[in-house]
């Protein structure tokens, strides 16, 4: 029996890539009953963590029979997720207006890179492209060149999280009024939203529109990553004066040159000096010195190391599912904790049973 804050919410997810399945995972982890619609020939394995926690129904969406069955499911759903390029759902006879006519309280979530409108709407792209027009990619990297920040900023931050946020906001409205609506979630829009604080600093004149010269983009000595003598790295983030003083005290940074914390002209030389000091000891020694203090320190863990870090272990931040390490459901709830409903399943597993539970009998 599903549990969690979204228990009882039915989610119809049209299988896709990137942020749409991650959004489905988030909703499932919090108790949503997510039914994935897969196309014939779809294939999954236990390593596709983003597909965990839902059942799958294989449907030929190009056939009249398949479309009829899916529309019957639409009538039962609370939320719908699709991550196709604009026009794909329309061509399959599953346009928002058709779905909302069948189910006026439905929240119809559309996840794209560029959005449903605008001159780029019909262009193909990936995370790197979507964040390129937002200012985010320009601001991330070295002085010499932008560096793609994995696909965390566009796909998952500006995409999956914004879609989940939009779906649940619209769901509340639907529950109060009986009126569903379309949620047009663009990764480019969401990324711009994430950049709000920095755009405020830019307008104020406290942010330079260049990489590697600002407090939190690698420009400063007190907010940076440094390599230790054993090749591992540590991260320092001592922005506030009291934290900076704690860092200086713990590391014996008595040189008066470190007094001028916010003097940007001094940052390059202070970064070099701090790098020299940190390179004299292994990461474990810096951890022993700085952990448990307000120096704003953390070791930079690799993906293989992170699951065994004591803080992550204490919080149960990673869990094993079928011998595969998964991120645990997040955030944490005091009354209705989330949980992983199931490991990733192959296409077609459990879908017909789920449809019957939703009240749909159909010859798939």
| Catalytically active residues, by annotation | 126, 155
How many whole angstroms separate alpha carbon 265 and alpha carbon 306? Answer: 36
Q: Which among 14, 1, 22 is positioned nearest to 329, based on CA atoms?
A: 22
Both ends of the chain: CA-CA distance in Å? Answer: 25
**CB–CB of 163/183 below 8 Å?**
yes
Orientation of helix 241-251 relative to helix 283-290, angle to 10°: 120
For the chain, the 3-state helix, strand and coil shares in percent, each to the nearest 5, are 40, 15, 45
Handedness of CA 126, 128, 130, 133 (dihedral sign): negative
How many whole angstroms separate alpha carbon 28 and alpha carbon 8? Answer: 11
Print burial letters for 41-73: b (CB count within 10 Å at least 16), e (below 16).
eeebeeeebbbbbbbbbbbebeeeebbebbbbb
- Helix (H) or strand (E) run with residue 344 in it: none
Handedness of CA 299, 146, 136, 214 (dihedral sign): positive
Paired strand residues for 350: 56
């Amino acid at each position: 029996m599903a549990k969690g804050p979204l228990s009882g919410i039915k989610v119809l997810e049209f299988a896709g890539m990137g942020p749409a399945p991650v959004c489905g995972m988030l909703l499932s982890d919090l108790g949503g009953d997510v039914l994935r619609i897969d196309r014939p020939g779809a294939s999954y394995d236990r390593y596709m963590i983003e597909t965990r926690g839902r059942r799958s129904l294989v449907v030929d969406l190009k056939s009249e029979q398949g479309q009829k069955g899916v529309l019957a499911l639409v009538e039962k759903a609370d939320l719908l997720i699709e991550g196709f390029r604009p026009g794909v759902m329309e061509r399959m006879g599953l346009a928002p207006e058709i779905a909302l006519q069948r189910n006026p309280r439905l929240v119809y979530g559309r996840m794209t890179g560029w959005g449903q409108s605008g001159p780029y709407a019909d262009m193909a792209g990936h995370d790197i492209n979507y964040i390129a027009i937002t200012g985010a990619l320009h601001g991330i990297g070295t002085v010499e060149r932008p560096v793609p920040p994995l696909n965390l900023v566009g796909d998952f931050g500006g995409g999956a999280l914004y879609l989940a946020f939009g779906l649940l906001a619209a769901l509340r409205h639907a529950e109060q009024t009986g009126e569903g609506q379309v949620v047009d979630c663009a990764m480019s829009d969401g990324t711009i939203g994430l950049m709000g604080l920095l755009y405020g600093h830019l307008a104020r004149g406290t942010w330079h529109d260049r990489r590697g010269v600002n407090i939190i983009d690698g420009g400063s000595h007190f907010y940076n990553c440094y390599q230790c003598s054993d090749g591992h790295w540590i991260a320092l983030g001592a922005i506030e004066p009291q934290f900076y003083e704690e860092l200086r005290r713990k590391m014996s940074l008595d040189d008066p040159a470190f007094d001028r914390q916010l003097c940007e002209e001094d940052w390059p030389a202070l970064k070099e000096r701090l790098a020299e000091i940190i390179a004299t000891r292994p990461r474990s020694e810096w951890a022993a010195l700085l952990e448990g203090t307000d120096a704003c320190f953390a070791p930079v863990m690799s993906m293989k190391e992170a699951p065994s870090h004591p803080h992550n272990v204490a919080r149960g931040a990673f869990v094993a599912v079928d011998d595969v390490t998964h991120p645990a459901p997040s955030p944490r709830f005091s009354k209705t904790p989330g949980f992983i409903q199931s490991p990733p399943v192959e296409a077609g597993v459990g879908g017909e049973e789920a449809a019957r539970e939703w009240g749909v009998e159909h010859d798939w």
